[in-house]
Amino acid sequence: MSVTQLDHVAVATPDLDTASVPYLALGLHPEGPDEEVETQGVRVRAFQVGETLIELLMPTRPDSPIAAYLEKRGPGLHHTAYRVADLDAEMARLRGEGARFLSDAPTPGRAGTRVAFLHPKWGAGTLIELVEHPRDPDWA
């Protein structure tokens, strides 16, 4: 298994500022500026807690998956994400285990990552994301 750690926990929200209030009250600070991930139609604000991030996800367009999620379920926990060393190899391995993905190939994620989402039906009702960070040793 190539999962190396919990990468982040993502929370869907219609408003980043409102959703940030509890994390700011806990003494956390955003990790850099908000980032837009065009391919997913979201703006992301990240808070670092140890080696893990809390990512707040706000839709940037009405047809984004986060907009659909908010419409159906309202704000709250959206997915958990796990860091992998080699996303392509892990996708192939998991397909061999019967896993279903939401797309056939990885897509760009926040901060130069590559990501892939496992279908929630395969994840016992939980959306699981796999994240591969850039291999540049200077990346932080």
24-39: pLDDT as tens digits = 999 999 999 999 999 9
Q: Domains of the chain by range and CATH? A: 3-132 (3.10.180.10)
Interatomic CA distance for residues 81 and 86, integer angstroms: 14
pLDDT bin (cut points 50, 70, 90) of residue 2 is confident
Q: What is residue 18's DSSP assignment?
A: H
Task: Please give the DSSP secondary-structure letter assigned to residue 50.
Answer: T
pTM, rounded to two decimals: 0.89
Q: What is the pLDDT of residues 35-84, one digit of tens each?
A: 999 999 999 999 999 999 999 999 999 999 999 999 999 999 999 999 99
> Which token pair is 118?
């496992």
Collapsing DSSP states into helix, strand and coil, what is residue 36? Answer: strand
